[in-house]
Each structure stands twice: as structure tokens, then as C-alpha cells.
With several copies, the nearest count.
Chain A
Amino acid sequence: MAVMRYSEALRLAMTEEMERDDSVFICGEEVGQYQGTYRVTEGMLSKFGPRRVVDTPISEIGIAGMATGAAMAGLRPIAEFMTWSFALEAMDALVNHAAKITYMSGGRISCPVVFRGPAGVGTQLSAQHSQSLESWFAHTPGFKVVLPSTPEDAKGLLKTAIRDPNPVIFMENAGIYGQRGEVPEDTDFMIPFGQAAVRTEGSDITLISYSNMVLKCLKAAEALEKDGIHCEVIDLRTLVPLDMDTVVKSIQKTHRAVVAHEEWKNVGFGAELASRIYEQAFDYMDAPIERVGGADVPMPYAKNLERAAIPTDLDIIAAVKRALA
């Protein structure tokens, strides 16, 4: 185990996989000479050279197409979006090509590609840079959708993503790139998709979340513990595949739930989660599931408005109290 930042864990995962397998390469805007917009790929160009660390023009369709086509031709590309908001430019390449080629070909083509990059809000980047599109991707069959919340998961899940034979949507959170944690150094350390992690056990209510929001749930749980409220915090880690077993087992114990994410609440992933919980554990529910999500507005620039638009641990606490009322 070594202690490192979330962003360093990502770099370690990519570095290990690139050392292991020559067919892995990374492409994207400013991933090379500039050392990565968020320094995730720092040093990788000088280590691997321009064949394997490829700076691209500002051409998201091109990037997505390059990665998808290369995957169809047998490589294992990692394409970085500078932020996920810019993936809006490439939706056709992603959704109508990467996600479907395997199905359309009757399984004759595999498309082992990882699309990764930061999502996340909180530094006043305003409306156009604050999209977190995981619900769109989770809605689209053909993708796996992964959102790690810790350095350890960042490494373990990214390695699984790179070795997965399918297109993987890998969303990091810029707000936690600097977060430190223990990370296994084993080069075969991988975390399987579809296994949620129970971050804290508790008996009164289940908080279900992913990415950055898990940390806010843990903070809320800590505060609530002092009031004698025992929260079970579940980190989904992957939205597709989704580990409902862990969720349902917890609900059968707690009978109450809060689902939480930073992205817009309306038609967000929380809605799916709540619906599935009711479908699979209706008789256990003692209170309506509370959803916590981002305000349904384009992200405002002003600090105070932005703060009001992003859900916090306090919003989770309030939701828990409503659910227990």
C-alpha cells in the first residue's frame, strides 16, 4: 500500500496497464506536452513517447472516433475528455457508434475503449462546464458506467475498465483529484464492476451514492451518528452494471433510504435507483425514499448561487431527518 492522490492513482493505473500491454494508449486534449489539464497524465509523455500519449486538436468527435475506431481495430485506447461537458460534442460517436457496434455486428466486433475525464462542480465554472452526464450514459445500453470515489477505487476500477472488452464511461470528479488515500501497489489489483461498497454500516437508514457525493454522505453520517442516527453508506462505484443486491440487503435492514448525487435531480440516476428499490423492496419501505440532487438549473457562476445549487452534507442530513420523521 502507498498513500497517494486520486489523480495519482489514476495515473498509476494507466501507467501499469500501458507497461503491461502495448495496445493501450491514451489520447486527448493536452494530455501530453501540457502534462494534462488536471495533471492526471503528468510525465506520461516523456515515459511513453508520442506514439502512446497523443495530444489531439480540440476535436471531441475526432477523439471519440479515433478511440472507437482504434478499439474496433484491436487496440485498447483510453480517450480523455478535458471535462465530460465537452463530450456533448461527441455524443453521436459515443452513443451511436462506440456503444452499439458490438450489438449491431452480432457480437463480431469488440470495442474495448475507456472514455475518461473529470466531471464535478464547485469552482464557479458556470453553466457550460458543469454537466455531469452519467444518467445519459447509464440510460444507453452498451456502456459500462463507472464513478470512483476513492484513490483505491480510482486505481482498481480504471484497471478493470482498461481490461474490459467494452466501452467504459469512466467519470472522475475534479473536486477530489487531490484527495489522498491508501492504494494497493499490486499491479494486478483490480476492482470488479458491479460490486457496490458498504462504506459504513448502520441500521437506521441507507444512504446510496457514488463519486464525490459518497464523501458528503460519509460526512453526513458522521454528524448524524452524534445524534444517534446510524446510517449505512453505500458507494455504488458502477452504475452499469448496478449492484442492487447490496442495496436491497441494506434496505431490508434499514427500511429507509436517501439516494444522492451532484447531477441534476430531475430524471437523474437517483430516480432510477429509487424506482428499483421500490420495485425490489416495496414491502420493506417505511417511508418515501428521499432524493438529493443538484438544483435543476444551469449552473450559475456566482459563488453563493453555485453553492446553493450543489447538494451538500447538510442537504443529506435534512433528507435523512425527513425520512425518519
Chain B
Amino acid sequence: MAKTAVKEKSPSDIGLDTLLGHYKTMVLIRRFEESTYRKFREGKMGGYLHRYDGQEALVTALIPQLELPGDKILCTYRDHAHALLCGTSPRAIMAELMGRATGCALGKGGSMHLIDPDNGFLGGDGIVGGPVPISLGVGWALKYKNTKNVCVCYFGDGAMNQGGVHESFNMVGLYKLPVLYILENNQYAMGTSVSRSTGQPDFVKKAEAHGIAGERVDGMDFFTMWDAAKRALARIRETGEAYFLQVDCYRFVGHGVGDDNTQGWKFYRTEGEVHEWMKKDPIVKLGAYLKDAGVLPDELAEKIDQEAIAVVDDAVAFAEASPEPPLDSLYENVYS
């Protein structure tokens, strides 16, 4: 019965072993995010902190399908998971979050500006909509250099209301550039729900208006996300033209550590709503599937969890033991 389920629901090319690997990654993301929150509250981090809890499938079911570092990734300030998936070491990420010299941006970027060009990760971005104009240029460069590579650009539902996003979509549509847009539609932009922020909530139409084809995807389901990403990437590599995925999902926690702490999220959503969405937890769902399939007994699940925690703890220990950036680095890197 489990086998049938695999055939039915899983794309044929993911072996159960590989799938188990993806499950591990999602657990790692969750544990990583939880730990950042604790460390923030301990005062080990500053600035903002935006967690990815609940949205794990959007990166885990896509980024492993890329050819990094040739393919490129851009995303928002909610970027820890993206960095992890691109292969940035948890140590370098955690150190960056703590503003240490060993961070992936030498402590200069922080949570919103993780980056790792060696792995194709061109960075998070603190400006809503900010990565989209950049993706136009990156897509242009990939085509210009006559590669078969793709630029994947993640951004939020709130960003659909930024003018620069529309200018860029239009140019990407006009020049036919190899960009995959992933709209992380987690239903809210800070405290503003999609229905309170747009005159027309079907985001696919907004992409199509600029000549970019797209579709809507359930981002709470690993397989759906995987398949959609696979089709989209194949299509882009074949046609050279951009594609758009409106991925419906949910952030389980507040917008940032600010409204996590103060429960400020209660101003804009109910506990009931949050609990409904939590029932669709992509990790739980994939876990259940793997359990059904017989490859994730409870002990293994527990072991995977412990391993994730160990990786995170190691990253924390590394970061905490790392030095602050030297003071004279203040004036370095202003110019190349």
C-alpha cells in the first residue's frame, strides 16, 4: 500500500532515500529557525529576524533540482533556509546572524543579507521587491553568456505591490529571460493580508499581464512543489523564457521576531487560522508519507531530529566562539 502511495504521489525520479534526505533538510531548517529565535532573545543577534517555519518545502523541493553555482538564487530577507539549501554552511550562516567575522558576509550583512556567490546564492535582500529588478539583470547575464542556466528569484506576496517588480517582469517578459519566479505567498505582508493589499488577488494574472506564464501551486505539499518546480525548470531551460509560480503557503510564526515576541500577530490573524494551517505542516506531511512508505520509523525520525539539533548546536557554538569583525574592517569593502 505504501508503495502504491509512492507511485501515486511521488514523482518517479525521487527515490525514497533521496526523499529522506529532503526530509532531513526540512527538519534542519525548522530546528535552525527555532534556534535563531532563542539566540535572538538571548541578545546574541540584533536587527530583524524573519523565520521560514512552515515554508520549508518552497526551498527544499526546488533548490536541490538546480545546477549550482551556474544557476543563481535571489531571495528576500527571509533567507536562512535559502542559504542552507544552496550549501552555505550552517556555521557561516549562524555566525553571520551573530555578526561575527566568520559569517558568510564577514558579519557585515546580518540576517537579511546572507549571501554565498560561490554556491550560486546571490543573496537575501532587505527591500521588499528588491530582488526582482536584480533578477532581471542576472537573467540577462545568463542569457548573454549563452548558458543554459536559470535564475530563481523568490519574493513575497507583499512585493507584488512594488512598482519595480512590474517593471522588471515586463522586461523579463519582453527579453525572454531564463528566470523562475517563486512568489512565496504566505498570505500576509507583515500585518496585511493579501485581500487587504491587492485589487485583484490572482497573482498569476499579474505575471501574465507582462508576458510571463505561470501557475498556482500548493506549497504545503512537498511533492506538488517538487513537480511544479521540475516542470517549470525544464520549461525554462527548453524555451529560455521566464515562468512564475504563485506558491501558496503560510508562515507559522510572526512576520519577524518583533511580532513573535509581542504576539503582535494577533492583531492580524487568529490563533484558529494559524492552527488550521499548522495542520498542513509540510514536514509532518512528508514525514507521514515516509512513515507510510516504511522508511521513517519513529526512532529514525527521532534520530534525524537529534542530528539536526546537533548541527544547529554546532553552528551556534562555532558562531559564539567566533570573533567579532576587526574594527578596522569598518572601512573595508565599501569598494571592490
Contacts and interface: CB of A to CB of B under 8 A. Distances in A.
B336 A33 contact: no
B192 A62 contact: no
A59 B47 contact: no
Contacts of B123: 101, 104-105, 109
Given A54-B175, A69-B140, 5 more contacts: A35-B264, A57-B198, A70-B137, A74-B145, A104-B123
Interface stretch (A89-97, A179-187, A224-232, A255-263): A89-97
A106 B103 contact: yes
B161 A59 contact: yes
A164 to B, nearest CB: 9
B330 A66 contact: no
Contact of B331 (A108, A109, A125, A297): A297
A60 B130 CA distance: 13
A68 interface: yes
**Size bracket, chain A contacts:** 35 or more
Contacts of A55: 192, 196
A71 interface: yes
A302 B334 contact: no
Contact of B171 (A56, A74, A124): A56
A124 B138 contact: no
Interface stretch (B29-37, B112-120, B310-318): B112-120
A75 B144 contact: yes
A33 B191 contact: yes
Contact of A62 (B99, B117, B125, B167): B167
A109 B115 contact: yes
A30 B191 contact: yes
B100 interface: yes
Interface stretch (A126-134, A205-213, A215-223, A277-285): A126-134
Interface of A: 25, 29-30, 33-35, 37, 51, 54-62, 64-75, 77, 86, 89, 92-93, 96-97, 101-112, 123-129, 141-142, 144, 165-166, 295-298, 300-306, 308-309
Contact of B168 (A62, A77, A295): A62
A68 B131 CA distance: 11
Contacts of B128: 58
Contacts of A30: 190-192
**Size bracket, chain B contacts:** 35 or more
A102 B106 CA distance: 12
17 contacts: A29-B192, A33-B268, A37-B190, A57-B158, A59-B167, A62-B133, A62-B168, A66-B136, A68-B134, A68-B137, A70-B140, A73-B72, A75-B144, A89-B164, A102-B336, A106-B103, A300-B325
Contact of A34 (B118, B132, B267): B267
A57 B330 contact: no
Interface string B55-90: 000000000000000001000000000000000000
A65 B190 contact: no
Contacts of B127: 86, 92, 96-97, 128
Contact of A297 (B48, B96, B112, B334): B334
A178 B170 CA distance: 35
A58 B190 CA distance: 10
A69 B135 contact: yes
Contacts of B140: 66, 69-70, 75
B28 interface: no
The 8 A-B pairs of least Cβ separation, nearest first, read: A69-B137, A65-B133, A124-B46, A301-B110, A106-B106, A34-B191, A302-B99, A73-B141
B239 interface: no
A72 B113 contact: no
A230 to B, nearest CB: 33
Nearest to B324: A304
B4 to A, nearest CB: 45
A104 B334 CA distance: 9
Contacts of A56: 171
B137 A308 contact: no
A305 B108 contact: yes
Nearest to A86: B127
Contacts of B142: 73
A126 B167 contact: no
Contacts of A74: 141, 145
B164 A58 contact: no
Given A68-B133, A68-B134, A128 B112 contact: yes
Contacts of B158: 57-58
A77 B137 CA distance: 9
B327 to A, nearest CB: 6
Contacts of A34: 190-192, 264, 267-268
B144 A57 contact: no
B72 A104 contact: no
B47 A125 contact: yes
Contacts of A300: 107-108, 325, 330
A285 to B, nearest CB: 29
B134 A57 contact: no
Given A68-B137, A302-B324, A105 B117 contact: yes
B122 interface: yes
Contacts of B189: 57-58
